[in-house]
Amino acid sequence: MGKDFHIFFIDEAGFMLEPLVRATWARRGHTPVLKVSENRHDRISVIGTMEIRMAESKRFSFLFHLSQDNTNFRGHTIVLFL
């Protein structure tokens, strides 16, 4: 009987829903217009983990959680996720 163990890789990230506006190419005198809704300052905060379970057979799993109010994850919310 072999030893069973788990390895977890955890990370959190935030995704802005507002598109980035950058310089672009256009013919002279034809300035490109990017139409963006003015109310798209929302964001999505997500935390996730990848688990590698080493036992008789290797298993991989991925779990994630979206923040309820889309604020940054803090200590207590990370503990709830774990």
Q: Which residue has the tokens 């890789």?
A: 9
How many angstroms from the chain centroid is the CA of residue 36?
Answer: 22
Residues 32 and 77 sit within 8 Å (Cβ to Cβ): no
Tell whether pTM > 0.75.
Answer: no
Could you give the C-alpha distances from 52 to 7, 21, 42, in angstroms and in order?
5, 39, 33
- Residue 78 — very low, low, confident or very high, per pLDDT cuts 50/70/90? confident
Structure-model confidence comparison of residues 48 and 24, the more confident one: 48
DSSP state letter for 71: P
Per-residue pLDDT, averaged over 25-45, amounts to 77
Q: What is the pLDDT of residue 39?
A: 61
The predicted-structure confidence for 38-64, as pLDDT tens digits, reads as follows 665 678 899 999 999 988 788 999 999
Domain ranges of the chain: 5-81
Q: What is the pLDDT of residue 65?
A: 92
